[in-house]
Structures are given as C-alpha cells and as structure tokens.
C-alpha cells in the first residue's frame, strides 16, 4: 500500500524517539501516514509555528491492510484480534472496549501500564503489544465525514515502513491550508 508522510525534516529512516511532539498520539503511538498526498503536504509544516525553511514529502510503502493486521479507530475490533489479545494478555476484553478501535487501544495501554488515563507511555505499550502480535497498524479516515474515503495510518513499528521516494517541496498557505507549489526529488 502506497502512502505519504510530510515533515520539515529530511531523513533516510523513520525514528519513533520524537513521537508525540508533532500531532501527539491521538491515533496511537507510531509513524503517521496518509493516502492523501495533500494531507501529508499540509503536515510538512508544524502546527502553530512560523513557516519553517524546509519541507519534505515522503512516498512510502506498507503491507496491505487486511482484517487481522489493523484496527479501525472508530470501527469495531475484529474478533480475531480480540481473541489474540485475550490469549496473550490472559484477560477478557470488556465488551464496551470492542466496539471502537480507539477505545480498545486506550484500554489496552492502560491495562499494560497500570495508568488511570491514556498517556504517551500507555500508547507506546499498546503499540508494542499490538505490533508484537501482528497488528502493526491503526487506521482512521482522512475526513471524518467520508469514512470510506482516503485513510490515515499510524504504523507502530518503523520496520514496517519502506521509504520509496523523498522530495523537497515548496508550500504556500491558501485559506489556512498548506498546498504544494513545487517539488524536487532528493537522491542519496
């Protein structure tokens, strides 16, 4: 599956050491990718900061999404993932936490860390647990009003992201959105 990532930094490999500094961990701990190039372009500029001098667009590849390798943020958790979680955790997942992937992920992280509310450490623990059992992705729609449209993906482990192309881009703010005005591929 081909996706995009926007960043003010040029790199050869994703690094999770700065997770939470940009968009936080609202959709899970991991690398945030999108099917919508324009969304990645927009996120190449850090929010609420002056225009940064550099912007990069990454074209990346991840494994295709199949029922047992991802959780939909607002959708029910597939029974096969619930079964694997209960077996590995040694605990029954509460019915209320099965209905929405984001609630399941938050509950799992809090169970693993003993936290009373979701935090960076609990999100990191949930991501590690899910990735270890073959569920490396959290998915949500780019536009909440179009649940069947383009998707965003949080990838819990950088080993599951392959960079195909890096481009230095020039962007311009048009009515509150950063848009692409020029691109040049960055080679090694």
167-182: average pLDDT: 93
Task: Say if CB 27 and CB 73 are below 8 A apart.
Answer: yes
Task: Say if CB 180 and CB 57 are below 8 A apart.
Answer: yes
**Side-chain-side CA neighbours of residue 37 (13 Å):** 14
Would you say residue 11 has pLDDT above 90? Answer: yes
Residue 4 — pLDDT band, cuts 50, 70, 90?
Answer: very high
71-86: average pLDDT: 96
Tens of pLDDT, residues 43-55: 899 888 889 999 9
Task: Say if CB 45 and CB 14 are below 8 A apart.
Answer: no
Report which listed range, 8-22, 25-39, 62-76, is most confident.
Answer: 62-76
pLDDT of residue 19: 73
Average pLDDT score, the chain: 92
Residue 18 — pLDDT band, cuts 50, 70, 90?
Answer: confident
Domain ranges within the chain, ordered by starting residue:
2-66+140-186, 67-136
* Burial class for 59, CB neighbours closer than 10 Å (0-12, 13-18, 19+): middle
Q: Look-up: residue for tokens 């950088």?
A: 158
Give the global pTM.
0.91
Tens of pLDDT, residues 117-166: 999 999 999 999 999 999 999 999 887 667 678 899 999 999 999 999 99
Q: What is the 8-class DSSP label of residue 92?
A: P
pLDDT of residue 59: 98
Tens of pLDDT, residues 79-93: 999 999 999 999 999
Would you say residue 65 has pLDDT above 70? Answer: yes
Q: Which tokens sit at 134?
A: 């073959």
Q: Which tokens sit at 37?
A: 């190039």
Would you say residue 22 has pLDDT above 80? Answer: no
Q: Is 44 helix (H, G, I), strand (E, B) or coil?
A: coil
Q: Which long-range contacts (CB under 8 A, 24 or more apart) does 169-175 make?
A: 169/41, 169/44, 169/55, 169/56, 169/57, 170/55, 171/41, 171/44, 171/45, 171/55, 173/51
Closest CA to 71 of 7, 6, 134, 161: 134
Q: Is 155 helix (H, G, I), strand (E, B) or coil?
A: strand
């Amino acid at each position: 599956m081909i996706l995009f990532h926007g960043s003010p930094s040029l790199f050869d490999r994703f690094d999770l050491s700065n997770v939470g500094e940009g968009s936080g961990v609202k959709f899970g701990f991991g690398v945030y990718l999108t099917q919508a190039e324009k969304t990645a372009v927009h996120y190449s500029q850090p929010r609420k900061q002056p225009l940064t001098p550099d912007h990069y667009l990454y074209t990346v590849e991840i494994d295709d999404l199949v029922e047992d390798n991802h959780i939909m943020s607002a959708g029910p958790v597939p029974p096969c993932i619930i079964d694997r979680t209960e077996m590995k955790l040694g605990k029954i997942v509460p019915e209320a936490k099965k209905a929405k992937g984001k609630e399941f992920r938050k509950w799992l992280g809090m169970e693993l860390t003993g936290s009373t509310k979701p935090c960076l450490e609990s999100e990191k623990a949930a991501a590690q647990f899910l990735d270890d059992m073959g569920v490396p992705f959290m998915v949500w729609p780019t536009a909440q009003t179009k649940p069947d449209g383009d998707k965003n993906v949080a990838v819990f482990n950088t080993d599951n992201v392959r960079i195909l192309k890096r481009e230095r881009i020039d962007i311009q703010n048009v009515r509150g959105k950063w848009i692409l005005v020029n691109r040049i591929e960055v080679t090694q």
